[in-house]
Structure 1
Amino acid sequence: MQSESKPITDKRVALDDLDHQLLALLRANARTATATLAKKLGVSRGTIANRIARLEASGVILGYTAQVGADAEPSGIRAWMSIAVEGDKTREVVKRLLGEPSVRSLHDTNGRWDLLAEVHAASIGELSVVLERIRKIKGIGNTETSIHLQTFRLS
């Protein structure tokens, strides 16, 4: 059985710094007005509208949804990706990861790993594509990924 949806990598869209900043703002609040986004990013409303249209057409932006709690999302794969950053590339890596549509949260850590990213994907196949895309980000040295199986709560 073949899936009807195509992975993002099929369209080979190149994201620049403005795209990553725009995606980060939209992920924080997808209902932010175009004029507000333009002001925050220091560009025209037309530039923002064109960027959003291009990101939607290329499959980078797949849609707009409400954020719901983890227990309300019964399907899909959640994973935790531990990331080691090379040298002084942390800011650049964080900026790229905040613009990555599959990264739901990003945490600064200490110890062996520099960052911890919560990654969501619709399937194992999509997760594989996402992990490969993240590993190619300049400045990422090593990664280790664990699939989220279950959450336990203390009462």
Structure 2
Amino acid sequence: MDADLDATDRKLLLLLQENARRSVATLGREVNLSRTAVQARLARLERDGVVAGYTAIIRAPPVHGVSALVSLRFGIRPCNLVLDRIRSWPEILDGYSTAGPIDAVLVVRVLSASALSSLTDRLSAVSGVEAVETTLIMDRFKDRLSGNRACDP
């Protein structure tokens, strides 16, 4: 799909990642296109699935609790057979399918260490999960939006 994107498309995508609330007119000025041309490009990028949606990222006050990375190794393929079973679990903030000895990495948030233990027990009991490894997140040292140190996870 990236081969279908020209330099202007890539610049528009970077601008949207920085701030998706920019007006179409502002985007047009930044990429030297008319408002109509930018609207057409955005419509194509949305239709082609390159832009999957627009969202607000809320910086809520830190919630006390425990954050962790949970690495999973599966004993079955395809991996989606397992991932579909856990996709909607509310403790899972983010999930990544990976290549290598680990099949997936989850970013989880729970209220306590005992809740984390319960979560890893539940994950271990899911059919197809062969191994679960947990790494506690101590602190966040970079926030992708600002590039600055953020509040604790």
Q: Judging changes above 3 Å, is the alpha-carbon distance between structure 1 residues 74 and 100 closer, same or farther for their aligned structure 2 residues?
A: closer
Match of 2:85 among 87, 96, 101: 96
Q: What is the CA-CA distance between 1:115 and the residue it aligns to?
A: 0.2
Q: Provide the C-alpha distance between the structure 1 equivalents of 2:135 and 2:61, rounded to a whole number of angstroms.
A: 21
Note the 1:26-41 alignment, pairs <5 A: none
**Which residue in the other structure is 1:127 paired with?**
116
Percentage of pairs with the same residue: 21
Match of 1:151 among 136, 140, 144: 140
User: Structure 2 stretches of 5 or more lacking a match?
Assistant: 1-55, 149-153
Q: Provide the C-alpha distance between the structure 2 equivalents of 1:137 and 1:143, rounded to a whole number of angstroms.
A: 11
**Which residue in the other structure is 1:85 paired with?**
74
Residues 35-85 of structure 1 deviation map (CA, whole Å, 9 limit, x = unaligned): xxxxxxxxxxxxxxxxxxxxxxxxxxxxxxx9744x732411001000001
Q: Decide which structure has the larger Cα Rg and report it.
A: 2
The amino acid that maps onto 1:137 is V
Residues 86-116 of structure 1 deviation map (CA, whole Å, 9 limit, x = unaligned): 1315112111121222111110111110100
Q: Judging changes above 3 Å, is the alpha-carbon distance between structure 1 residues 75 and 68 closer, same or farther for their aligned structure 2 residues?
A: farther
Q: Provide the C-alpha distance between the structure 2 equivalents of 1:118 and 1:97, rounded to a whole number of angstroms.
A: 13
Note the 1:104-119 alignment, pairs <5 A: 104-119=93-108
Q: Provide the C-alpha distance between the structure 1 equivalents of 2:108 and 2:57, rounded to a whole number of angstroms.
A: 14
**Which residue in the other structure is 1:139 paired with?**
128
**Which residue in the other structure is 2:15 paired with?**
none
The amino acid that maps onto 1:113 is I
Q: Provide the C-alpha distance between the structure 1 equivalents of 2:58 and 2:74, rounded to a whole number of angstroms.
A: 30
**Which residue in the other structure is 1:24 paired with?**
none
- Contact 2:123–2:132 under 8 Å retained in 1: no
User: Considering only aligned residues, what root-mean-square deviation do their CA atoms show, in Å?
Assistant: 2.1
**Which residue in the other structure is 2:23 paired with?**
none
For these two proteins, the number of residue pairs brought into alignment is: 89
| TM-score normalised over the length of structure 2 | 0.52
User: Structure 1 stretches of 5 or more lacking a match?
Assistant: 1-65
Residues 2-61 of structure 1 deviation map (CA, whole Å, 9 limit, x = unaligned): xxxxxxxxxxxxxxxxxxxxxxxxxxxxxxxxxxxxxxxxxxxxxxxxxxxxxxxxxxxx
